[in-house]
């Protein structure tokens, strides 16, 4: 998953007003401080990449790259905090492989949309009840729901990297990755909706306004992102840019379209992050195949480079900022019970949604229990939860925001270090490494879309089961619609190219429990 990062290096002029230095000295001092800050950031990036390579080479999976980057940021930030340094840094779906994503589209949507909503509500309600029963620090109900929304954003970068190294089932990888991409969009929309509800004075209109604001944020951001993606596909299909002497122009336009989507959504008062996620998915699925071969290779390498830099830097920054920020550790009970509540909410999310998905599938294509356990275990919290918590620290009154931020910080550190470090052991215990029981020949022959078969003699299981099967058929119809109409219309070819972007190693492309 790609994250858009904007790095700004600044230097607060604390203390200069009382005893101003000579005017000529200020620019030089600021330039020096900014240079030291940039040098520090680059040094941490280099150290993280080198350390990650050493860990991979020696197959030491107990300290994944993301955990190492987080620790480096924590150590450097702690040293900077102790030394009272003046340097201050602040920072404000293109790598998703489309074949596994669309082949598991119904399940991914169920986990990411319905599951995230369930997890947010369960977490918020449990935190509120914990406050009422004096188990933990009491927050207003809407603020509990805000906390539930932000802490439901998963970021399984650590788990996915180990999935790639050890070679797990491609469906499990697609479910974890796809859920985390759409999960971010859902969590952001829910958080913004709850924040708007909190700001309203008329409590009687909260429910209807909450539904409207959520639909406006989520559907509006999704629509703007998908729309920009489709426009880019048509532009590259008919503009005739796929010739050698226009390769630079082709690549520049391709890189600029996602940022255009981001700024368009922000200008409309929507979520730029949600918009750019869907633009990336649409451009990967349609626009990418309209590029020339040389441009495809370049943008693949370019976005892979950006993704590696962004993922490494964001964990370094989190560690650095965690060490530098002011925290409120006076409510340890809130942190302890919040960890328990999010574990419960994650379990309700995964197992209930898996039950609904399996009700709509034939028995031989259901999500196995060991994959459900792996999906539950993979619910790490990371950059998105941290960013939303940092925002809540500035929005919420008194110590509420600080308490939420400190709790989120503790959860991020614990999940990244403990869960990330034990992922390899978990995969071995669940026996999901190198699963060769299923073949993907049919998947390749049918462009990744295998329509489900329903046996006449199978029991219906009631009206709910029949409705779920109808929904499942509709997702299969969507894949047929995409293959037969959307792909030919938005691309210059009818056959899908092999994925050259974000593909897993060959030993991982095994087994598809198909929709």
Give CA–CA dist 49/335, Å, rounded.
32
Check pLDDT > 60 for residue 501.
Answer: no
> What rounded mean pLDDT belongs to the chain?
75
Task: Note the pLDDT tens digit of each residue in 65-89.
Answer: 777 788 888 887 777 666 554 443 3
> Which pLDDT band holds residue 128 (cuts at 50, 70, 90)?
very high
Give CA–CA dist 314/3, Å, rounded.
9
Range scoring the smallest mean pLDDT among 173-182, 243-252, 456-465: 456-465
Check pLDDT > 60 for residue 224.
Answer: yes
Predicted confidence at residue 304, as pLDDT, reads 86
Give CA–CA dist 505/511, Å, rounded.
14
Say if residue 18 is exposed, middle or buried (CB neighbours under 10 Å; 0-12, 13-18, 19+): exposed
Give CA–CA dist 80/323, Å, rounded.
9
Q: Domains of the chain by range and CATH?
A: 102-430 (1.20.1530.20)
Task: Note the pLDDT tens digit of each residue in 366-422.
Answer: 889 999 998 898 888 888 898 899 888 888 877 898 899 999 999 988 888 888 778
> Which pLDDT band holds residue 353 (cuts at 50, 70, 90)?
very high
Residue given tokens 């070679």 in the structure block: 167
Predicted confidence at residue 58, as pLDDT, reads 80
Q: pTM of the prediction?
A: 0.70
Predicted confidence at residue 139, as pLDDT, reads 92
Q: HEC profile for 398-429?
A: CCHHHHHHHHHHHHHHHHHHHHHHCHHHHHHH
Contact 51, 312 (CB under 8 A): no
Q: Which of 206-210, 309-313, 450-454, 459-463 has the highest mean pLDDT?
A: 309-313
**Beta-carbon neighbour count of residue 484 at 10 Å?**
11
Check pLDDT > 90 for residue 479.
Answer: no
Q: Which of 89-98, 110-119, 320-329, 482-491 has the highest mean pLDDT?
A: 110-119
Give the CA distances from residue 341 to residues 335, 338, 432, 440, in Å, rounded to whole numbers and listed in that order.
10, 5, 27, 38
Give CA–CA dist 318/248, Å, rounded.
35
Give the CA distances from residue 7 to residues 4, 250, 292, in Å, rounded to whole numbers and listed in that order.
10, 26, 32
**Beta-carbon neighbour count of residue 398 at 10 Å?**
7
Predicted confidence at residue 124, as pLDDT, reads 95
- Encoding tokens for residue 5? 């990062």
Give CA–CA dist 335/471, Å, rounded.
39
Which residue stretches of 205-246 are H helix?
Answer: 206-238
Dump strand ranges (E) for 39-168: 88-91
Greater confidence (82 vs 344) lies with: 344
Q: 360, 380, 184: which is closest to 281 by C-alpha?
A: 184
In sequence order, what are the residues at sequence separation of 6 or more whose Cβ sits closer than 8 angstroms to the Cβ of residue 422? 62
Greater confidence (333 vs 170) lies with: 333
> Which pLDDT band holds residue 126 (cuts at 50, 70, 90)?
very high
Give CA–CA dist 232/268, Å, rounded.
20
Exposure of 422 in the CB half-sphere (CA atoms within 13 A) = 13
């Amino acid at each position: 998953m790609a994250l858009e990062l904007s790095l700004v290096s600044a230097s607060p002029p604390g203390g200069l007003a009382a005893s101003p230095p000579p005017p000529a000295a200020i620019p030089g001092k600021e330039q020096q401080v900014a240079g030291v800050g940039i040098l520090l950031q680059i040094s941490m990036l280099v150290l993280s990449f080198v350390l990650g390579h050493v860990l991979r080479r020696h197959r030491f999976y107990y300290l994944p790259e993301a955990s190492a980057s987080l620790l480096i940021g924590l150590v450097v930030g702690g040293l900077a905090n102790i030394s009272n340094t003046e340097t201050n840094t602040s920072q404000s779906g293109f790598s998703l492989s489309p074949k596994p994503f669309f082949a598991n589209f119904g399940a991914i949507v169920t986990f990411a949309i319905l599951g995230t909503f369930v997890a947010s509500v369960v977490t918020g309600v449990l935190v509120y009840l914990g406050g009422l029963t004096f188990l933990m620090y009491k927050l207003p109900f809407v603020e509990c729901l805000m906390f539930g929304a932000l802490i439901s954003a998963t970021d399984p970068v650590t788990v996915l990297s180990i999935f790639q190294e050890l070679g797990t089932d491609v469906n499990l990888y697609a479910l974890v990755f796809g859920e985390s991409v759409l999960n971010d969009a859902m969590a952001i929309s829910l958080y913004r909706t709850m924040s708007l509800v909190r700001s309203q004075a008329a409590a009687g209109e909260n429910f209807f306004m909450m539904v409207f604001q959520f639909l406006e944020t989520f559907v509006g951001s999704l629509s703007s992102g998908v729309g920009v993606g489709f426009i880019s596909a048509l532009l590259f299909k008919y503009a005739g840019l796929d010739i050698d002497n226009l390769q630079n122009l082709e690549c520049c336009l391709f890189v600029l379209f996602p940022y255009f989507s981001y700024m368009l959504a922000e200008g409309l008062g929507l979520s730029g992050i949600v918009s750019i996620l869907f633009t990336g998915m649409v451009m990967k699925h349609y626009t990418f195949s309209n590029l020339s071969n040389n441009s495809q290779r370049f943008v693949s390498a370019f976005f892979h480079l950006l993704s590696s830099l962004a993922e490494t830097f964001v964990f370094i920054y989190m560690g650095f900022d965690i060490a530098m920020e002011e925290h409120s550790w006076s409510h340890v009970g809130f942190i302890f019970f919040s960890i328990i509540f999010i574990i419960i909410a994650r379990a309700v999310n995964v197992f209930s949604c898996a039950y609904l998905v399996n009700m709509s599938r034939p028995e031989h294509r259901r999500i196995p229990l060991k994959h459900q356990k792996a999906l539950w275990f993979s619910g790490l919290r990371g950059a998105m939860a941290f960013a939303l918590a940092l925002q809540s620290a500035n929005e919420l009154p008194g110590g509420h925001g600080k308490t939420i931020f400190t709790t989120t910080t503790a959860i991020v550190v614990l999940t990244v270090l403990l869960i990330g470090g034990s992922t390899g052991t978990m995969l071995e215990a669940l026996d999901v490494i190198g699963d060769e029981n299923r073949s993907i020949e049919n998947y390749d022959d049918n462009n990744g879309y295998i329509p489900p078969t329903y046996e006449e003699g199978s029991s219906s299981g009631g009206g709910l089961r029949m409705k779920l099967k109808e929904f499942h058929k509709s997702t299969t119809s969507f894949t047929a619609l995409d293959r037969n109409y959307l792909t030919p219309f938005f691309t210059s070819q009818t056959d899908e190219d092999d994925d050259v972007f974000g593909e897993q190693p060959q030993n991982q492309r095994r087994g598809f429990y198909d929709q």
